[in-house]
Chains A and B, each alone.
Chain A
Amino acid sequence: MTFTSFEFLLFFPAVVILYNLCPKNLRVWYLLAVSYVFYALMQPVYLLLLVAVTGVTYGFTHWMGKTEDEKKKGRIMVVGIIFVLLPLFFFKYFGFINDVFFSCLRLIGINCTVPAIHWMLPVGISFYTFMAIGYLIDVNNEEVDIETNIGAVGLFLSFFPYILSGPIERAGNMFPQLKKMPTSQPLDLSSGAKLMLWGYFMKLCVADRLGIYVDAVFNNIPQHNGTTLAIATLLYPIQVYGDLGGYSLIAIGAARCMGIKIVPNFNRPFFATSMSELWRRWHMSLINWLTDYIYTPLSFALRSWKVWGIVCALMLTFLISGIWHGAALTFIVWGFVQGVYLSIEALTQKRRSALESKYNLTQKWFYLLICCLVVYLLFAFSQIFGRCVTLSDAWLVITKICSDRGPVFIDRATFAYGGLMVVVLFIKDFLSEYHTDFLFGFNSKHIVLRYTTYILVLFLILLFGVLDSSQFIYFQF
């Protein structure tokens, strides 16, 4: 059951209603049961893994609580992290590392074949593993109190809105809320519903629509010319924004309906005027997690290297980010490219600031516009590595974009509907960025306008969203 399936539309209201009918002290267990059922409907066997990780996390945090000695605490934490990382490593990366290892052996002439183990990846493992690790580290640093209710720990790791694709939550934000379990207020329900509605719009109208075209191009790279590949590359970041951003909004809205506030994940990323700003607006929960648990300790340890310490920490952090996204060389390159961008920005920071203040550039709108466009282009380029399955594909795409011109492959439906939806999305984001409380938005004071906007968005989804799989481009050569 995904958020965009019909069953979820029936499942979700029932869950919210029952939540409010449930007595307060049982709500944690109720939501835990609901989340486990949600998970079991997808992958019943791996639910056991999730429960096991929960148990390990609970056990190790309590062990740390009983230990006075700081060094011993630290060692317990490390062991706990290793245990929690093991399943992730095994399911996600074992096959990849295996392949790489044996390719290297083959390069030096040793030919051996080991049967490949292809296990299906447990749903959400990247997310709950990171959340568990964050909790363990927080307990070690005494940033957070040790949670005694194992149900709350279980719910923290498995909460159905965010288990599938985030946002990645923190113990410090979730446990206090799980202690209160408030009844849904009207404001919660309406805010939550608004967030979900807009999330569905972003996913169904923008992301899936653009996805039809981008998939048709990127799944047939040899058949398309450079111009078409360039267009698809430029559309892909918007698709990901709609997809991940939309899904995150649905998750945040769903939790909000039950009075639980989850951290936001996207903040109008394409209005960023620098790559570092982009990363403060894009997939924020992941970046904050990486910053707090990897980048900060790393840059702290390397601080004697001054700027080069920062560069190293950045590179390593983004390499890890790349690997987190997927077990493939393309993701490693993706992470590397992001690290390079940010390192260059860090290294040239002083010079750029001097230039900007000399000509007072940051006040000029065309300078900001150019910055946004440059950031977008750089980001779109890096995403080629995120989209392609193999490095040779990515290389082919890049060479073709540079050399191979030709007529653009046009799919009228995508461009017409997709274009319209992207314009709608852009207008909303633009207004939210530069004017708040605009009359036409979801938060207008006039009830008629509010309801008109809701209905308008709903019908945009029904009329132009990709509601079933029957819209594909059967590529004609």
Chain B
Amino acid sequence: MNRNEICEKLTVIFQEVFGDNSIVLRDDMTASDVENWDSLTHMLMITKVEEVFGIKFKLKELNKLKMVGDLIASVESKLQ
């Protein structure tokens, strides 16, 4: 799976979990840029990502994800 496909799938996940069909992912996007993305919905999003891509995160890894770009990179490295 290449980066663009990952981005596409993530976009779908984001739009669904955060209830906003207009979301477009950027590498520097963070929770403060998206309404409804808070600590409550964050974990729901992560769970969905794990489900869709069939991967598992460790807590330490999660804490290091500061923006969407980090997330994309992390998913990419796990799929390899």
Which A positions have Cβ atoms within 8 angstroms of B? 141-143, 276, 280, 291, 295-297, 299-300, 303-304, 306-307, 309-310, 313-314, 342, 345-346, 349-350, 353-354
Contacts and interface: CB of A to CB of B under 8 A. Distances in A.
A297 B59 contact: yes
Contacts of A142: 60
B44 A307 contact: yes
22 contacts: A141-B63, A295-B39, A296-B39, A296-B43, A296-B59, A299-B39, A299-B43, A300-B46, A303-B44, A303-B50, A307-B44, A310-B43, A310-B44, A342-B40, A345-B40, A346-B40, A349-B40, A349-B41, A350-B19, A353-B19, A353-B36, A354-B19
Nearest to A298: B43
Nearest to B50: A303
Interface of B: 19, 36, 38-41, 43-44, 46-47, 50, 59-60, 62-63
B63 A303 contact: no
Contacts of A303: 43-44, 46-47, 50
Nearest to A141: B60
A304 B47 contact: yes
A153 B49 CA distance: 39
Given A297-B59, A299-B43, A300-B46, 20 more contacts: A141-B63, A276-B40, A280-B38, A291-B39, A296-B39, A296-B43, A296-B59, A296-B63, A299-B39, A300-B59, A300-B62, A303-B50, A304-B47, A306-B44, A306-B47, A310-B43, A345-B40, A349-B40, A353-B36, A354-B19
Contacts of A353: 19, 36
Contacts of B46: 300, 303
B55 to A, nearest CB: 13
Given A297-B59, A354-B19, A309 B38 contact: no
Which secondary structure characterizes the binding site on chain A? helix
The 9 A-B residue pairs with the shortest CB-CB distance in the complex, in nearest-first order? A299-B43, A303-B47, A353-B19, A346-B40, A300-B59, A303-B43, A291-B39, A141-B60, A310-B40
B59 to A, nearest CB: 5
Contacts of B36: 349, 353
A276 B47 contact: no
Contacts of B50: 303
Nearest to A277: B38
Contacts of A354: 19
A354 B59 CA distance: 32
B39 to A, nearest CB: 5
A345 B62 CA distance: 24
Contacts of A297: 59
A310 B48 CA distance: 14
Of listed B36, B39, B46, residue having the most chain A CB within 10 A: B39
A345 B38 CA distance: 12
